Structure 1
Amino acid sequence: MKKEKVLVAGASGYLGQYLVKELKKQGYWVRVLIRKENQKKKFEQVDHYHLGEATDPASIKGVCSNIDWVFSCIGITRQKDGFTYMDVDYQANSNLLKEALRDNVKTFQYVSAIHGDRLRHLKIFEAKERFVDELVASGISYSIIRPNGFFSDMRDFLGMAKTGRVYLFGNGQYKLNPIHGEDLAKVCIDKMRVGVQEESVGGMEIFSQNELAELALKSWQKEIKITHLPDWIRKLIIFLLRTFTSSKTYGPIEFFLTAMSHDNIAKPYGSKRLEDFFWSEVQKNKKV
């Protein structure tokens, strides 16, 4: 059976790289959209490269030519190019969608984040959900995947644990089940294949924030030292950041601090264990 030709946008990011590897492993023809020539070395056996900036419509003209599926992981993480969330998380994806519609792409998948539809007041979700609205209204077959946190995001706990103490807001009882990028890539492809329009996705293990802190400390072979801070401090930090810094500065912190104030549990998938990921990260750090 003929397999679809696919485009991965945001291919050089954490999830994007796993998506490319899994798509090739499953036998798909893959084109990647990359911003810089030197990003080619991140990929092996890719069928076609398109060099362009999704924020610049002219540079991505034809990127969806002869493509059946588009996977977009485009979004600001730690880019330092002067772009805003609206420039990237909304407009860049909107530019890509226009190309997909022009070239009659069958299905467009967008990776947002859990509870994004309920957290539109956050700068990062204001942009993401504006694009989700546009995608849903476009008439194209779509798939929206909402992961509830990557293993890579849990490095924040490891970073604190390395110092010998982890700081949490409130009582640390809120829970989440983060997912490894490799597991999430498989889920994305499966959901695209069967035509799931929207789903929140998590990993196989559910942790309270206290349990995450303990696991991080144990990974460094540290004593369990956790300090619980009053929740008003978290709210004050968000207020001060929003008042005195730009969205580029406060956006990621606002998102992280808000996510820490409620449960983030999604349908479990995958087989990767966070303990193994933490151990691997600690070993890498020790070799540096």
Structure 2
Amino acid sequence: MNILVVGATGTLGRQVVRRALQEGHRVRCLVRTLPKATFLREWGAELVPGNLCRPESLAYALEEMEVVVDAATARPTDGIGIREVDWQGKVNLVQAMVMAGVKRLLFFSILDCDRYPHVPLMSVKAATEEFLAESGLDYTILAPAGFFQGLIGQFAIPILEEQSVWLTGTSAAVAYMDTQDVARFALRALEVPETIGQKLPVVGAKAWTSEEIIALCERLSGKNARILRIPLGVLTATRQVLRRFQWTGNIADRLAFAAVLSGGETLTAPMEAVYTQLGLSPQETGTLEGYLAEYFGRMLQKLKERNYELDRQKRKEQEKRKRKRPFKTSAKTGG
């Protein structure tokens, strides 16, 4: 297939690119900043400059493409917000696809997004799902709940570096999944015509609370976590302040999503029918225990090697100073 990946430099998008190339597909990536995407070219993908917020840049990217995989979303530090990228940008993309005659679209949404209309990102995802249903495209929607990769910065690194882990309210249990597995589901869904017009959950076998993840990280790292809890009211007040400023509005919208994860509700879904429909095996899907064990094993080995090198350098410096130290001589006395 000729596949255009939008959001290809993101955590999920790059795994879609990698998987598609491994399976022998021709992959083109729509990228805003070419220098930041050179690694995709090195993998074998074609890079095309463009931006969802600039409709005129989409026509060329869609030429000769058969499928579009949309993994793009606004980042908290972007100068443009969720509504510009995750809503108007997706409208621009769909309209450009219709004009170019590209019918097949795979869109990444969020599990249970329609249950949280007060959360900007969830509300926009739900609205986009409704828009796709009326678009006339052959769409498939995949709905993850969260990714293993996001837990590294949230829990693993702070615990390794003996920094504070921030928690808010009663943590929701979330069925996280490795982005590599999500990419595998995505490419397989494109090969199964029965997925057209469907929304499929893509979640891990177990839903984890923040406290359970922290306990797992402590066990694997041999370190105790320093936990600081923020009252939910403080998070809400912070969001209200940030929304007053244009440059922090996107961060405020993400804080609203964080509040969902602190609400105590479980984000998961049954996956048996999805595995059956796609012809995939649950045994091939990675677990959070395995993912974090591999991460901590690698990081602890690096720390061990670094400490060994520091000790070696220290010993060399000590030996050097000993060689340079002048010999002490005793004063001679006359007889």
TM-score scaled by length of structure 1: 0.86
CA distance 1:193–1:37, shift in 2 (3 Å): same
2:262 is matched with 260
Letter matched to residue 263 of structure 1: T
Confirm or deny: 8 A CA contact 2:169 2:262 kept in the other structure: no
Confirm or deny: 8 A CA contact 1:165 1:217 kept in the other structure: no
- Larger radius of gyration between Structure 1 and Structure 2: 2
Map 1:1-288 onto structure 2 (within 5 A).
Answer: 4-43=1-40, 44-80=42-78, 82-155=79-152, 156-162=154-160, 163=162, 166=165, 168-170=167-169, 174-194=172-192, 195-196=194-195, 197-223=198-224, 233-234=231-232, 236-246=233-243, 247-261=249-263, 262-268=265-271, 270-282=284-296, 283-284=298-299
C-alpha distance in 1 between matches for 2:287 and 2:72: 26
C-alpha distance in 2 between matches for 1:150 and 1:266: 15
SS at match of 1:144: strand
Confirm or deny: 8 A CA contact 2:21 2:45 kept in the other structure: no
Consecutive unaligned residues in structure 2, runs of 5 or more: 244-248, 272-281, 307-335
The alignment covers a number of residue pairs equal to 279
Confirm or deny: 8 A CA contact 1:164 1:222 kept in the other structure: no
Letter matched to residue 74 of structure 1: A
Confirm or deny: 8 A CA contact 1:74 1:92 kept in the other structure: no
Letter matched to residue 147 of structure 2: F
Q: Which moved more, 1:278-287 or 1:181-190?
A: 278-287
C-alpha distance in 1 between matches for 2:115 and 2:170: 23
What are the superposed Cα offsets for residues 180-238 of structure 1, whole Å, 9 maximum, x if unpaired?
111000011112221421011112343233211101222331236767x59xx21x134
Letter matched to residue 63 of structure 1: A
Confirm or deny: 8 A CA contact 1:31 1:46 kept in the other structure: no
Confirm or deny: 8 A CA contact 1:64 1:100 kept in the other structure: yes
Query: CA offset at residue 144 of structure 1?
Result: 0.9
C-alpha distance in 1 between matches for 2:207 and 2:123: 28
CA distance 1:254–1:185, shift in 2 (3 Å): same
CA distance 1:248–1:136, shift in 2 (3 Å): same
Letter matched to residue 117 of structure 2: R
C-alpha distance in 2 between matches for 1:170 and 1:76: 26
Confirm or deny: 8 A CA contact 1:164 1:223 kept in the other structure: no
Letter matched to residue 219 of structure 2: K
Consecutive unaligned residues in structure 1, runs of 5 or more: none
Q: Normalized per residue, which structure has more helix?
A: 2
Confirm or deny: 8 A CA contact 2:110 2:144 kept in the other structure: yes
% identity of equivalent residues:
22
